[in-house]
Amino acid sequence: MSKRSMALAAVVVAALLAGLVVAGDAQTQDARLEAAKKEGKVVWYTSLVLPSAERVAKLFEAAYPGVKVEVHRTGSQRILQRVMQELQANIKNVDVVHTSDAGHFVLLKDKKLLAKYTPAGVDAFPAGFKDRDGYYYGLRATVNAITYNTKAMSAAEAPKTWKDLLDPKWKGKLVTAHPGYSGVIATHVLALVHLHGWDYFKALAENRVMIVQSANDPATVVSSGERIVAVNGGDYSAYQLKKKGNPIEIVYPKEGVPLVVSPTAITSFAPHPNAARLFTDFTFTRECQQVMADSEGLYTGHPEVTYPADKPKLNELKLLTVTPEELEKRNEELKKRFVEFFGA
Amino acid sequence: MDRSVAVWVFAALSLVVLMALPLGWLGWLSVSGEHGATLAHYRDVFTDLALRKALWNTVVLAFWVGLVSVALGAPLAWLTARTDIPGRGLIRGLVLASFVTPPFLGAFAWVMLAGPNAGILNTLWRSVTGSREPLLNIFTMPGLIFIVAIYTFPYVYIMVANTLALIASDLEEAAAILGAGRLTVARTVTLPMVLPALASGFILAVLQALALFGSPAILALPAGFHTVTTQIWSLFQFPPKVEQAAAFSIPLLLATALLLQVQKRVLGRRGYAAVGGKGGQRRTIPLGAWRFPALFACLAVMACAIFLPYGVLAKAAFARAWAQPLSRDNLTLGNFTFTFFEYGATRDAIVNTLELGVMTACVGAVMVAVLSYVTNRRLVVGHQLVAFLALAPVVVPGVVLAVGLFIAYTRPPFVLYGTLWILFLAYLTKEMPVGYAQADATFRAIPADLEDAGRVLGAGRLRILKEVTAPLAKSGIIAAWCFIFIGVIRELSASILLFTPSTKVMSVVIFDLKEEGQFGAISVLGLVMLGLTFATVALVQAALGRDVLGTRK
């Protein structure tokens, strides 16, 4: 605990220093901070796994005392549902939206619900992290991987490819998360439909797969031993669990791993626009991005961020990508067919 | 006359806001199309194979829950009401505990107990027997039925135990004297007399199972099947199909109304002179050698409902990994610090829950007190209708009420979505019948002659109310307050559709955490919720001077 809080303190100090140094125009910066303080808080709807989201919020609050972050964490699809339901009732609550379903941002942009804002420092990010029109930017990335329980099998016995999971020997031993909840999984399903077709999922469902909701949950289910192989899920939450000593190992299938870039954007109706911009800039600083890479096991678009030695580099993996536009267009089809095969 | 008008305006307004508006919108939206009225939504809903399956699953679930509840509740009631089984007080206390345990917490705990692979009972079973197969698989229809039933059987228990307490033993003794064996007596005398109570308890259990959202969401979805409630909930996912959800709510509403009608008939037939009287002896039946086996059987049931789930929640609250033994390495307070200090939603949710609980209970208690006083003393014309209206919300399952409230209050003239008020309305409506029944029983027990005596002595109605009626009714109304409060803090099925991030309540936070697999934090919050519940129960018992299950002294 004390080690972690020291690390946290170090990061906070670094972030503060960076804030002081990086500030190009100190005066505008001050004015903006004052405006943000007057607003008092920023409301963040996020699909980042809860402990990580709370950590980012605490870092920000330490760097900018006087501006609180209200974290509302749930699955990507639930966040979109929230935002749209609230707007229908004319409720303007959310400042910053962050989900793992890039298609949402195409939809929100089309409906003119996003504010155009380019966070400081994202110019250097790769193209896959940037919206051409300047509305949303990839805050973090993860890949879908297979996770298995090391107490239940050796590395040699573990499945190596997505197709290995179709083997009947895994019947009753698999767990999947749900594209109707998670953007990571919606992206995963679409990428694998491109790779192997819907027949793949039809065959997978034959293995009586347990269904959970969040992309973070398959790895916890595998850690507990309730099922011994996770057929998808963000590798970052699995990495965190592994680091905590849970008996799990991550497999990056050779056919390629679906890359999920999770965008963030400020809403056009944000009730706390200054705090929203301050917060968004903060999340894209090297310091915050480095924390995500180090303690959370995420990938980022920041060119200077370094990664833990025990995680593969993104450029070592064969990445399967889908476009936000296609994800948006096929969102309903993905959910419907998944439910058709898996039952719920 | 003017008094009647005031009461009527009040009752009518409440009715419009609480029932007519939501249900009216629900009905209207279910038949509204782009070009006027249409049955297209019903056609969509009832031709969709997945939705039909959900409907069938609900029928199966509700029916079996009813049967299992009778199988558990009736023997337990007979044993504690009529025999010399040891530990009667303890068993009643445990039945009460099961009655007030939020079913979704029980379901969640049972995931840790009887998940087919990691479940603690199954791990134990395998290590003892060497078997490869699990003892129990909770992620199945039978598993779901079992979990719902162990928190629903108290409804049967209450009905049967309270009836048995009123049946005198003379008829049974007469039969025995005429040479009937014990079984024959039970079959031909006792059973027919408790049959209405059994049937009625069965129906109540079925109604509970129909309306439940949390347990199916936790146990059925992972197994790949839906029930009506979870299906309605998922129809709200983006892009929302609110019209279909409305259409799909109607069968649930009709089934509930129908079943309650049947229950009323069944209870209405209870014309046996032997039941309902206070006279007569109730003889205790000696169990002899069966005393302790019977006690163990009762405790086994209660272990499933109380000991095991509470134990595993406590374990998970203090464990890093719930599936591992509680060794020193695995012991932590981290779940508590995370829940209370790092997770920002906790405090707001607890505050919201308490605020709503107190607010609903206060407003509700005053409302039911006024209404039941008015109906019991027949102060207005058409008082029977007032009573009917106060009990009417019982036919509306939580999810259905929520769909109606959502539709009604996300659009002008009353936009309440996003505020605590919409939850307040949902809770007030949902808890009204329970509170009313309690208040009604209270006023019924206060004979009008006391008030008349006051009158004769020259006191005005208000003064009598203050000095005679109020002191007598106080404890009963406090109990009504507590019942409403307990109902509110555990409510999930309506809340899940009506919350917004700034109006989260504890049950919703627990459900959110469940979807993410944060077992430790859920267990901590679950213990908090149980603590609150039992503190309130203690308050009721103190107020009533008896336990809350029934009439027994």
User: What DSSP string describes B535-553?
Assistant: HHHHHHHHHHTS-TT-S--
Is B307 a residue whose pLDDT tops 80?
yes
Is the peptide bond preceding residue B309 cis, with omega within 30 degrees of 0?
A: no
CA-wise closest residue to B221 among B437, B430, B50, B17: B50
- Same domain for A88 and A19: yes
Closest Cβ opposite residue A211 in set B222, B411, B418? B222
The reply to whether A249 and A122 lie within a common domain is no
Domain holding A229: CATH number? 3.40.190.10
- Residue B163 is predicted with a pLDDT of 85
B117 touches chain A (CB under 8 A): yes
Of residues A212 and B474, the one with the higher pLDDT is A212
The answer on A132 and A7 residing in a single domain is yes
B32: part of which helix (H) or strand (E)?
A: strand B32-33
Task: Indicate if A170 and A205 belong to the same structural domain.
Answer: yes
Pairing verdict, β A68-73 and A41-46: parallel
Q: Are A338 and A275 in contact (CB under 8 A)?
A: no
The answer to whether the CB atoms of A344 and B226 lie below 8 A apart is: yes
Nearest-Cα distance to chain A for B128, in Å, is 18
| Average pLDDT of every residue of chain B | 90
Split at pLDDT 50, 70, 90, the class of A253 is: very high
**pLDDT surpassing 80 at residue A147:** yes
Distance CA A271, CA A94 (A): 7
Average pLDDT over residues B510-528: 95
Q: Does A309 reach chain B within 8 Å, measured CB to CB?
A: no
Please compute the mean of the pLDDT values over residues A118-125 and round it to a whole number: 95
Are residues A344 and B118, on separate chains, in Cβ contact within 8 Å? no
The domain that contains B418 carries what CATH number? 1.10.3720.10
Our separate counts of H helices and E strands in chain B read 28, 2
B271 pLDDT more than 50: no
pLDDT category of residue B552 using cuts at 50, 70 and 90? very low
* CB within 8 Å of chain B, chain A residues 151-210: 172, 180-181, 209-210
A182 and A291 within one domain: no
Enumerate residues 6+ apart whose C-beta is below 8 A from B97: B302, B305, B306, B534
Q: How confident is the model at residue A212 (pLDDT cuts 50, 70, 90)?
A: very high
- Find the distance separating the first CA and the last CA of chain B, reported in whole Å: 42
The answer to whether residues B417 and B406 touch, using CB atoms and an 8 Å cutoff, is yes
Nearest residue, CB atoms, A344 vs list B225, B322, B418? B225
- Strand order of the β-sheet with A174-176 is A210-211, A174-176, A229-230, A146-149, A248-251
pLDDT band at B277 (very low <50, low <70, confident <90, very high): very low
Do residues A234 and A296 both lie within one domain? no
> Any CB–CB contact under 8 A between B410 and chain A?
yes
The B residues from 216 to 245 touching A (CB cutoff 8 Å) are: 220-226, 230, 234, 236-240
Band the pLDDT of B18: cuts 50, 70, 90: confident
> Phi/psi zone of residue A90: left (φ > 0), alpha (ψ -120 to 50 degrees), beta?
left
Checking if the pLDDT of B119 tops 90, the result is: yes
Domain-embedded: residue B35? no
User: Inter-chain contact B237–A77, Cβ cutoff 8 Å?
Assistant: yes
- Going through chain A in order, the beta strands assigned E by DSSP cover 41-46, 68-73, 96-98, 114-115, 137-143, 146-149, 174-176, 210-211, 229-230, 248-251, 257-267, 319-320
In this predicted complex, what is the ipTM?
0.89
Report d(CA B391, CA B376) in Å as an integer.
14
User: Which tokens sit at B84?
Assistant: 């010399």
Q: Are residues A95 and A128 in the same domain?
A: yes
pLDDT of residue B273: 44
Q: Is the same domain home to A323 and A298?
A: no
- Collect all residues with Cβ–Cβ distance below 8 Å to A195 and sequence separation of at least 6: A162, A255, A256, A320
**Predicted confidence band of residue B75 (pLDDT cuts 50, 70, 90):** very high
State which of B36-45, B109-118, B254-263 shows the largest mean pLDDT: B109-118
Distance CA A9, CA A5 (A): 6
Confidence at B1, pLDDT banded by 50, 70, 90: very low
Residue A18 in this model has a pLDDT that exceeds 70: no
Q: What is the CA radius of gyration of chain B?
A: 25
Total number of domains constituting chain A: 2
Q: Residue B422: pLDDT above 50?
A: yes
Output the average pLDDT for chain A: 93
With contacts defined as CB-CB under 8 Å, which chain A residues touch B25? none
Determine the average pLDDT of the residues in B249-261: 91
Residue B375 pLDDT: 86
Give the list of residues 6+ apart from residue A311 with CB closer than 8 angstroms, or none: A235, A239, A297
Structural contact between residues B314 and B527, judged by C-beta atoms closer than 8 angstroms: yes
Decide if B513 touches A, using CB distance below 8 A. Answer: yes
Please give, rounded to a whole number of angstroms, the shortest distance from the CA of A57 to a CA of chain B.
10
| Residue contact B117–A225, C-beta within 8 A | yes
Residue A17, pLDDT above cutoff 60: no
Q: Indicate whether A189 and A321 sit together in one domain.
A: yes
Pick among A226, A227, A327, A329 to test the B interface (most B CBs inside 10 A): A226
**Percentage of residues in chain B with pLDDT exceeding 70?**
96
Rounded to whole angstroms, how far apart are CA atoms B369 and B372? 5
* B43 pLDDT above the threshold of 50: yes
Contact of B122 with chain A, judged by CB distance below 8 Å, is answered with no
Are the beta carbons of A57 and B344 separated by less than 8 Å? Answer: yes
Residue B417 has pLDDT above 70, yes or no: yes
Domain span at residue A38 reads 2-140+262-307
Mean pLDDT of B173-196: 86
DSSP-derived letter for residue A319 is E
Average pLDDT of the segment spanning A256-269: 98
Range of the domain at B521: 333-553
Are A26 and A123 members of one domain?
Answer: yes
Residues of B in contact with A77 (CB under 8 A): 237-238
Name the band, by pLDDT with cuts 50, 70 and 90, for residue A13. Answer: low
Please tell me whether residues A42 and A125 are part of one structural domain: yes
B381 located within any domain = yes
| Amino acid at site B154 | P
Residue B458 has pLDDT above 50, yes or no: yes
| Mean pLDDT, residues B68-86 taken together | 94
pLDDT, average across residues B418-433 = 94
Q: Which residues are paired to A148 by β-bridges? A: A229, A249
CB contact under 8 A, A84 and B240: yes
Q: How close is the nearest chain B Cα to the Cα of A274, in Å?
A: 20
How far, in Å, CA of A187 to CA of A232, rounded? 11
CA distance B441 to A251: 64
On whether both A125 and A184 belong to a single domain, the answer is: no
- What mean pLDDT comes out for the span B351-356? 96
Determine what percent of chain B is predicted with pLDDT higher than 90. Answer: 62
Domain count, chain B: 1
> DSSP E strands: which ranges in A25-143?
41-46, 68-73, 96-98, 114-115, 137-143
Report the alpha-carbon distance of residue A325 to residue B3 in Å, rounded.
65
Secondary element (H or E) of residue A189: helix A183-196
Residue A1 has pLDDT above 80, yes or no: no
Residues B266, B250: Cα–Cα separation, whole Å: 24
Q: Is A216 on the interface with B (CB under 8 A)?
A: yes
Q: What's the predicted TM-score (pTM) here?
A: 0.91
For residue A282, give every residue at least 6 positions away whose Cβ sits within 8 Å of its Cβ, in sequence order, or none: A15, A59, A60, A63, A64, A288
Contacts of B221 in chain A (CB under 8 A): 211, 213, 344
